[in-house]
Amino acid sequence: MMPHNSYISNSSLTVPLQYISSQGEPLTELGGKNELPDFVNDKALLLQAYRWMSLTRAFDQKAVALQRTGIIGTYPSSLGQEAISVACGMALEKDDVFVPYYRDHGSQLVRGHLIEHLLLYWGGDERGSAFGPASDMPICVPIATQASHAVGIASALKIQQKRQAVLCTLGDGASSKGDFLEALNLAGSWHLPVVFVINNNQWAISVPRHIQSGAPTLAQKASAAAIPNLQVDGNDFIAMYEVLTEALQRARQRKGPMVIEAISYRLSDHTTADDASRYREQDEVDKAWKNEPIKRLQNYIFQRGFWDKNAEGCLQDDCQTQIEKSVMAYQRIEAEQPEAMFDHMYQSWPDVMDDQVVECGEKYKRNFLTPEYQYSGLK
Amino acid sequence: MNDERLKNVNLVEAINMALNYSMSHDDSIVMLGEDIGKNGGVFRATDGLQDKFGCARIMDTPLAETSIAGAAVGMAVAGLKPIAEIQFMGFIYATLEHIICHAARMRNRTRGRLTCPMVLRAPYGGGIHAPEHHSESTEALFAHIPGLRVIIPSSPARAYGLLLAAIENPDPVIFLEPKRLYRSEVHEVNDNGQPLPLDRCFTLREGEELTLISWGACIKECLAVVDQMNAESGSHDRIELIDLASIKPIDFATISDSIKKTGRCVIVHEAAKTCGVGAEIAAYIAEHLMAYCKSPVKRVTGFDTVMPYFRNEQHYLISELDIKAAINTSLNASF
């Protein structure tokens, strides 16, 4: 699908690109100038987006509950940022490369990750990153380092003369890090097929956006690398999807990198280990709820006659059923044997360190004595 | 098999030969680093390679070490075999987050779905009258990291064969080049594409009474001492010299066999003493070989000081006399 607007070259955009109001009304009906893109008539596409966003939110709620009951570990909710995440997932082609950070559950679901595998990762099991699209990177925890990997991957695609694009996500905090700025510099210098999305949810744990940078926008950091950039209302799926589709298409056509700052709000704590009430006012959060992305898209599809209460009820039931099934599937996956920690350190574990594998088995027997225990051997 | 015996090859030329051979035989190999293109690297390790293989495969990067390592991780994951050059080891620390948190863990954290076959090359060590930050030996930092291999060659032929092996290896390899040896000696090198085994050390001299273990530039002084002492010893060669070469993993089997034979061990390294790789070898001997030891393990190392600037670096660097003194102490000591 080719977008009808070219915001990439539209330097006159002074406010974040937005198509529908927080009540789901087209801004054109409220005196706005930007005509809605054609794909808003694609009922199937909008419903698909709405379903993924709803599933993402339901999964988030469940994951937080699972952490509270000790079934998974610390978990970073993406509450309020579902439009960004799902738009990223949907705008990517299957063979594009996604380089996510740790708040990208929505994109991961759209990209084909199973819920049980997401739970596996957050449940402390490496196998959670063993699945998903073959070329996608696992989620990245060390802040902004994924930006360097994204330029490396984009560079490889260019050298290999492939026509895919790379999409890299990061938070507002990550935009302060040297890795991101170096990555922008390299992406601009080498004209790489990579798109960066800054999920500006206003908070990096307890540090608000205004402390993060003196720059009026985070997007403009790309200007120093001569990379086109713009701000988008990250709670407006239609705007996010349009800009992402165009930016990725541009990258595939070898027209260079782009930076998108998606303005949103972290409605949750940073992670389940955080208590945001220590550092931000509830008033601010209450106000932000009025702009949240799911209700907005829901209002729009209701107004368009694409959706009704009955469909909504069915969707919520479907999400719950799917999640419950996945949680059960996750809980059936047994932990790996202790010696599995050696299996993937190198292609083959150096035989000069074999004694450590033996020691691991002995340690296990000593601490978790089970007479029938026997390791099946290194691969 | 291309059997091209070249006489008079120095270590940096051997590096260049290995890079040239690898890039000629594997299109997925690319190089990135500062000044490696037209300039051929500040030590000329990549001399002529950009002319031969083009700018797409020999990439001059912006002056940003973090990006060099991070982009190499991305390239490796995406199916290339990047060889990244850090101009001096003193500038390698900006790469650590990518090397430790990503390169070394990618295979493990994805259970083998993604791998990170890359080589990070850097000249290291002192003795060339270089400016501040250009003389350190911090190989132990990398040796401590699970998932990495750390290789240090000490002759042109081993530089050639070990670099080929590092490039062929499917995991990340830190390849540290003793820059004091870059042009100090020439040897015959056979440009036949034959890699040497990784995780094996090299017994350079056989002897009966003491095992001398070293790596990198110190091998030069060790060889001089061992050859002199063995020549003077008459009936049998007294000193066995092992070039560790693979700093991680360490080939303890070879070390073990040697110490079981000689019963004495001296370890020589230029790096600072505390938590140096010599400590790991000494600990292994204490754990496994005490019954064979006739005298305590002795270390000859750099001090726990900042490497002095070059006016005084000779007071830090290991000399032949230092090595000889330690060997004699060990030979004359007992429990």
Question: What CATH number is attached to the domain comprising B294?
Answer: 3.40.50.920
Task: Determine contact: A298 vs chain B, CB below 8 A.
Answer: no
A303 shares a domain with A169: yes
What share of chain B in percent tops pLDDT 70? 99
Q: Let me know if residue B270 belongs to a domain.
A: yes
Which pTM was predicted?
0.92
Is the pLDDT at A370 greater than 80, yes or no? no
Task: Determine, for residues A155 and B57 on separate chains, whether the beta-carbon distance falls below 8 Å.
Answer: no
φ/ψ region of A373 (left if φ > 0, alpha if ψ in -120 to 50, else beta) reads beta
- B229 domain-assigned: yes
- Structural tokens at position B102: 């990503």
Give the nearest chain B residue to A188 (CA atoms): B62
Q: Nearest by CB to B71, from A132, A151, A341: name it.
A: A151
Is residue B196 a part of any domain in this protein? no
Where does a domain end: B160, B190, B220? B190
**Cβ–Cβ below 8 Å for A126 and B108:** yes
Q: Give the mean model confidence (pLDDT) for residues B300-310.
A: 93
Token pair belonging to A6:
């070219």
| Phi, psi (degrees; rounded to nearest 5) at A257 | -80, 170
Residue A5: the pLDDT is: 55
| Type and span of the H or E element at A122 | helix A115-122
Query: Do B296 and B256 belong to one domain?
Result: yes
Q: Same domain, yes or no, for A264 and A371? A: no
User: Looking at the structure, do residues A57 and A31 belong to the same domain, yes or no?
Assistant: yes
Residue B309 falls within a domain, yes or no? yes
Residue B24 has pLDDT above 70, yes or no: yes
User: How much is the pLDDT for A6?
Assistant: 57
Residues A325 and A345 in one domain: no
Give A179→chain B minimum CA distance, Å.
7
B3 in a structural domain: no
Task: Tell me, yes or no, whether B141 and B31 share the same domain.
Answer: yes
What is the pLDDT at residue A121? 95
In the structure encoding, which two tokens stand for residue B167, read together? 């490039």
Q: Are residues A209 and A75 in the same domain?
A: yes
- Look at residue A216 and tell me if it is in a domain: yes
CA of A359 vs chain B CAs: smallest distance (Å): 14
- Considering only CB atoms, A345 lies closest to which of B76, B78, B147, namely B147
Average pLDDT of every residue of chain B: 96
Look at residue A15 and tell me if it is in a domain.
no
Which pLDDT tens digit goes with each residue over A3-35? 445 555 555 567 899 999 999 999 988 888 889
φ, ψ of residue B78 to 5 degrees: the values are -85, 10
Split into its structural domains, chain A has a count of 2
Query: Does residue B1 lie within any of the structural domains?
Result: no
| pLDDT given for residue B1 in this prediction | 44
CA nearest to B200 within chain A: A352
CA distance B255 to chain A (A): 11
In a domain, B186, yes or no: yes
Are B226 and B101 in the same domain?
no
The predicted model gives A23-48 an average pLDDT of: 93
Return the percentage of chain B with pLDDT > 90, whole number: 94
Catalytic-residue membership of B98: no
Same domain, B212 and B256: yes
Q: Is residue A155 part of a domain?
A: yes
Q: What is the CATH number of the domain that holds B151?
A: 3.40.50.970
Question: Is pLDDT above 80 for B3?
Answer: no
- The Cα-based distances of B271 to B142, B163, B304, B312 in angstroms read 13, 22, 9, 16
Which one from B129, B134, B288, B315 is the annotated catalytic residue?
Answer: B134
Which domain covers residue B146, as residue numbers? Answer: 8-190
> What's the CATH number where A123 sits?
3.40.50.970
Which of A98, A159, A343, A354 is the best mutation test for B, with the most CBs of B within 10 A? A159
A130 domain residue, yes or no: yes
**Is A47 within a domain?**
yes
**Angle CA A379–A123–A355, to nearest 5:** 35
Bond before B249 cis per omega within 30 degrees: yes
Q: Of A234, A293, A239, A262, whose CA–CA distance to A52 is shortest?
A: A293
**A11 occurs within a structural domain:** no
Are residue B68 and residue B33 in the same domain, yes or no? yes
Domain boundary among B161, B190, B219: B190
Query: What per-residue confidence (pLDDT) applies to B50?
Result: 98
For A314, residues 6+ apart whose C-beta sits below 8 A from its C-beta are none
CA-nearest residue to A181 within chain B is B67
Chosen for mutation from B83, B101, B108, B281 (greatest number of chain A CBs closer than 10 Å) is B108
Residue A12 lies in a domain: no
**Average per-residue pLDDT in chain A?**
93
What is the reported pLDDT for A13? 65
Number of domains chain B contains? 2
Q: Residues B255, B313: one domain?
A: yes
pLDDT at A31: 84
Contacts of B111 in chain A (CB under 8 A): 126-127, 129-130, 343-344
Regarding whether A160 and A180 lie in a shared domain, the answer is yes
CB contact under 8 A, B251 and A347: no
pLDDT at A227: 97
- B141 and B101 in one domain? yes
B2 pLDDT band, cuts 50/70/90, is low
Residues B40 and B102 in one domain: yes
Provide the pLDDT confidence category of residue A364 given band limits of 50, 70 and 90: confident
Within 8 A of B82 by CB-CB distance, chain A residues are 152
Q: Both A84 and A105 in a single domain? A: yes
- Residue A247 shares a structural domain with residue A342: no
* Residue range B262-278, pLDDT digits in tens: 999 999 999 999 999 99
Residues B216 and B307 occupy one common structural domain: yes
The answer to whether residue A19 sits within a structural domain is no
Confidence (pLDDT) at A212: 94
Shortest distance, CA B3 to any CA of chain A (angstroms): 30
B59 has which bridge partners? B32
Both A345 and A320 in one domain: the answer is no
The CA–CA distances, whole Å, from A30 to A27, A35, A88, A243, B311 equal 5, 12, 28, 22, 76
Is B54 found in the same domain as B121?
yes
Query: Which of A126, A186, A353 is facing B67, going by the closest CB pair?
Result: A186
Q: Residue A365 to residues A333, A339, A349, A369: CA-CA distances in angstroms?
A: 22, 12, 22, 4
How much is the pLDDT for A189? 97
Q: Do B62 and A189 touch (CB under 8 A)?
A: yes
- Once rounded to an integer, what is the mean pLDDT over residues B311-335? 95
Bridge partners, B83 (sequence order)? B31, B119
Identify whether residues A205 and A179 lie together within a single domain. yes
Q: Are residues A172 and A234 in the same domain?
A: yes
Summarize the confidence of residues B235-264 as an average pLDDT: 97
Q: Are A126 and B111 in contact (CB < 8 Å)?
A: yes
Q: Which of A234-238, A340-344, B29-33 bottoms out in mean pLDDT, i.e. has the lowest?
A: A340-344
Look at residue B263 and tell me if it is in a domain: yes
Cα(B221)–Cα(B326) distance, integer angstroms: 13
Own/partner long-range contacts of B320-326 (Cβ < 8 Å, ≥24 apart) = B320/B221, B320/B224, B320/B225, B323/B212, B323/B218, B323/B221, B323/B222, B323/B225, B323/B266, B323/B268, B324/B225, B324/B229, B326/B266, B326/B268, B326/B298, B326/B299, B326/B300
Same domain, B118 and B46: yes
Given A317, A332, A347, which residue is the final one in a domain?
Answer: A332
**Pairs of residues, one from chain A and one from chain B, whose beta carbons lie less than 8 Å apart:** 140
pLDDT confidence of residue A315: 98
Name residues 66-125 of chain B within 8 A of A (Cβ).
66-67, 69-80, 82, 97-98, 101-102, 107-115
Question: Do B84 and B132 belong to one domain?
Answer: yes
Minimal-distance CA residue of chain B relative to A132: B113
Q: Domain range for residue A376?
A: 337-379
Domain match, A316 and A371 both: no
Is the pLDDT at A200 greater than 60, yes or no? yes
